[in-house]
Structure 1
Amino acid sequence: MNNVRAYFDTLVKMNDVDWELFSSKLEKKEFKKRTILLESGNIEKYLYFIEKGSVRLYIPKEDYDLTFGFCFSGRFMSAYDSFLTQTSSTYHIETLTETTIWRLTFDDLQDIYKQTEVGHAIGRIAAENLFLAKVKREQSLLNQTPQERYLSLFTEQPQLIKEIPLKYLASYIGITPQALSRIRKRIS
């Protein structure tokens, strides 16, 4: 829990009273590799903070999955659209490695908003981080070639290349695993 507080203190200073309320609402969970945290059709009940591990967000298809996001240690994660609207998610969330998360329910977050000033700041920062990641991904799909997207991932998020199976990276970039192999050969 000390790591979580240290991270939040880098975002916004929290007094001990606010931290006590906030931390009392957090639940620590540990998951094995390839655990489904949320299936499409279900409502997202949690906002997660990843202490350790990696997670992918994807739309399951019969022949292949469409991976559209990854989240790593030290980041917020959620099917945030479902979380905010409390309606069914259209995608899955799955751990890619052994993962330790701290989670907060929708109702507990609303309670924190009501009782603290810092809760609003944390909620805003979480929303901003999720939004910025989404915009960056959309912009890369519209403005970069698959090779440029791969090179950007390689330089900006090297943990992706190390931790994520190539078939998921290919899906994230918007190409087949075979096309990704050709790109990797070309640039090596």
Structure 2
Amino acid sequence: MNEIRNFIEDITLISDSDWQFFSSKLQEVKFKKNTPLLKIGEIEKHLSFITKGIIRLYIPKDEFDLTFGFVFNNAFITAYDSLLTQSPSEYQIETLTETILWRISNKDLQEVYEKTNSGNIIGRKMAENMFLIKSKRELSLLSQTAEERYLDLFSNRPELLQQIPLKYIASYIGITPQALSRIRKRIT
């Protein structure tokens, strides 16, 4: 649980009393590899922090899934749009490896926002960070070629290429596995 406090304190200082209140609401949950955390049509009920594992966000399709995000250790994960609106999710979230999460329910999260001094600051800064990640991804899809996206991914997130099946990476950069294979051959 120290990872969570360290992560939060990189954003803003949190008093011991605020931390005690927040951490008392957290529940540790362990998942096996390839376990769905949220399916299409379900409403997100938690904000989770990954202390171990890799999680994928995707839209399932008949031919191949449309992967649009990966989240790793020491980061928060949620279907944020579903959590905010309490409406059914339009995508799925699943573990790609054995995963350990610390979860807080949406109800408890709202209580943390209401009763702590640092809760709203942390929530705002996390929302801003999620927006920047999403914006960067959208811009890369609009302004870069598939090869440029792959090279960018390779240089910025090499752990993706070592731990995630190539079919998911291909989907993430917006191409077929065959097209990714051709790009990889051309590069090497």
TM-score above 0.5? yes
CA contact (8 A) 1:67 1:172 kept: yes
Matched length: 188
1:56 lines up with 2:56 in the alignment: yes
CA contact (8 A) 1:77 1:130 kept: no
Shift of 1:50: 1.1
Gap runs ≥5 in structure 1 = none
1:163 lines up with 2:181 in the alignment: no
Identity of aligned residues (%): 60
Counterpart position of 2:39? 39
Shift of 1:125: 2.1
CA contact (8 A) 2:59 2:65 kept: yes
CA contact (8 A) 1:76 1:130 kept: no
Deviations 1:153-184 (CA, angstroms, capped at 9, x unpaired): 00111111111100000001110001001101
1:185 lines up with 2:174 in the alignment: no
1:128 lines up with 2:128 in the alignment: yes
Report which stretch shifted further, 77-86 or 124-133.
Answer: 124-133
Taking the aligned partners of 1:31 and 1:125, their CA distance within structure 2 comes to 28
Counterpart position of 1:139? 139
Taking the aligned partners of 2:129 and 2:164, their CA distance within structure 1 comes to 21
Shift of 1:14: 1.0
CA contact (8 A) 2:38 2:93 kept: yes
Shift of 1:127: 1.1
What is the identity, as a one-letter code, of the residue corresponding to 1:112?
Answer: V
What is the TM-score when the length of structure 2 is the normalising length? 0.97
1:25 lines up with 2:25 in the alignment: yes
Counterpart position of 1:9? 9
Counterpart position of 1:73? 73
Root-mean-square deviation (Å) = 0.9
**DSSP-derived class of the 1:43 partner:** coil
Deviations 1:100-133 (CA, angstroms, capped at 9, x unpaired): 1111111111101110121011111221222111
Deviations 1:76-111 (CA, angstroms, capped at 9, x unpaired): 111100000000000000001111111111111110
Q: Which consecutive segments of 4 or more residues in structure 1 shift more than 4 A?
A: none
What is the identity, as a one-letter code, of the residue corresponding to 2:29?
Answer: K
Report which stretch shifted further, 118-127 or 32-41.
Answer: 118-127
Taking the aligned partners of 2:86 and 2:92, their CA distance within structure 1 comes to 15
What is the TM-score when the length of structure 1 is the normalising length? 0.97
What is the identity, as a one-letter code, of the residue corresponding to 2:103?
Answer: R
CA contact (8 A) 2:44 2:86 kept: yes
Counterpart position of 2:88? 88
